[in-house]
Amino acid sequence: MAITTEQIKELRKATGAGILDCREALTHSDGDFDGAVDFLREKGLAKSAKRANREASEGIVELYNHGDGRVGVMVEVNCETDFVGRSEGFRKFAHELALQIAATSPIVVNEEDIPEDILDREREVARNMAIEDGKPENILDKIVEGRIEKYKDEIVLMRQKNIRDENITIADMLNENITSSGENLIIRRFARWELGEASMNEDEDEE
**pLDDT tens-place string over residues 130-145:** 998 888 888 988 999 9
Distance between CA atoms of residues 148 and 161, nearest Å: 17
182 contacts: CB under 8 Å, gap ≥ 6: 84
pLDDT in tens, 38-80: 887 776 654 555 555 566 779 999 999 988 889 999 999 999 9
DSSP assignments along 27-50, one per residue: HHTTT-HHHHHHHHHHHHHHHHHH
With cut-offs at 50, 70 and 90, classify the pLDDT of residue 21.
Answer: confident
Task: Name the residue ranges covered by the structural domains of the chain.
Answer: 5-51, 58-109+160-206, 115-153
| CATH classification for the domain delimited by 58-109+160-206, as one of 3.30.479.20, 3.40.50.300, 3.30.70.1560, 3.40.35.10 | 3.30.479.20
DSSP assignments along 58-89, one per residue: EEEEEEEEETTTTEEEEEEEEES-HHHHTSHH
**What are the CA-CA distances from residue 95 to residues 15, 64, 197 (Å)?**
18, 8, 23
Q: Within 13 Å, how many C-alpha atoms sit on residue 22's CB side?
A: 19
Domain range 5-51, CATH class: mainly alpha
**Has residue 107 got a pLDDT over 70?**
yes
| CATH classification for the domain delimited by 115-153, as one of 1.10.10, 1.10.286, 1.10.3470, 3.30.40 | 1.10.286
Strand-pair partners of 40:
none
